Amino acid sequence: MIVAIDGPAGAGKSTIANKLSQMLNIHHMDSGAIYRCYALAAVEANLDTQSPSDMQNIVKNSSVRADYSVTPAKFFLNNKEVGETIRENRISSQVSFVAIHKCVRDAVVENLRETSKEHNFVVEGRDIGSVVFPNAEHKFFLTASIEVRAKRRFRDLQSAGEDISFEQLCEDIERRDHIDSTRDIAPLTQASDAQLVDSSNMNIDEVVKHLNQMISPL
Ligand code: CDP
């Protein structure tokens, strides 16, 4: 079974996908983390995330893999665990440029589809219900107002010790949303058969309960 959860940055996808997967007793696949691993590879090699040839180089010469046997899953770039490095703002600010490139998207989509053969998953991302798993049994599009999303992300970054202003973060998120929704390949979109969930006025547990009820109504 695949449960697809798509939506913009800060909508709460990771926390909700994580809790929901535990409730359903299945695994949680964070597709954004794989894009973030390629972004980390490019940033660490001082390459240009907007250059198709630089990104082709990265895809050719990097191995990205995930270990889903542990919760939360661990991600590895060239066999080294990346930990929270991929969540740093220096990576967040580059990842949407990385995710534009066809070579990167092809590698990630192949990785996700291969992995899905092994287990049942709650998969979160931007194009999961529309492109990666169009036959997913359950599809949700999770969103919230920009103010709520930015506040949530601000709290996360502050507790991770990052020094960023709220205004800068709002700008970063809006820019990322714009790049993600307007790119040519697999833009961020609500699949026609996905259920829209606006979490602006809901807490995490309310959203998880709501999704769980839609998946298992009895
Ligand atoms: O956690 P957050 O919502 O900030 O982002 P993420 O899920 O970690 O994804 C990081 C970035 O990867 C997104 O802004 C997209 O540019 C890209 N992404 C994508 O293009 N397609 C996906 N299925 C997942 C992520």
Model confidence, pTM:
0.95
Residue to probe by mutation, ligand 1, list 85, 95, 199, most atoms within 8 Å of CB: 95
**pLDDT score recorded for residue 96:** 97
Residue 218, pLDDT score: 66
Question: From the centroid of its chain, how far is CA 10?
Answer: 10
> Ligand 1, residues 5, 31, 176: which to mutate, most atoms within 8 A of Cβ?
31
Give the Å distance between the CA of 175 and the centre of ligand 1: 13
Distance 218 CA to ligand 1 centre (A): 33
Which one-letter amino acid corresponds to residue 57? N
Torsion angles phi and psi, residue 61, rounded to 5 = -105, 5
Task: Judge if the upstream peptide bond of residue 72 is cis by omega within 30 degrees of 0.
Answer: yes
Ligand 1 center–CA 214 separation, angstroms: 24
Quote the CA–CA distance of 20 and 32 in Å, as a whole number. 17
Q: CA 142, CA 177: separation in Å to the nearest integer?
A: 14
Task: For residue 10, give both structure tokens.
Answer: 């800060």
pLDDT one digit per residue (tens) for the chain, 218 residues: 999 999 999 899 999 999 999 999 999 999 999 999 999 999 999 999 999 999 999 999 999 999 998 888 999 999 999 999 999 989 999 999 999 999 999 999 999 999 999 899 999 999 999 999 999 999 999 999 999 999 999 998 899 898 989 999 999 999 999 999 999 999 999 999 999 999 999 999 999 999 999 998 76
Q: Cβ < 6 Å from ligand 1: which residues?
A: 9, 13-14, 31-32, 35-36, 95-96, 99, 125-128, 176, 180
| pLDDT recorded at residue 69 | 86
Largest CA distance in the chain: 53
Which residues lie below 8 Å from residue 79, measured CB to CB, with a gap of 6+?
63
Q: Which domains does the chain have, with CATH numbers?
A: 2-206 (3.40.50.300)
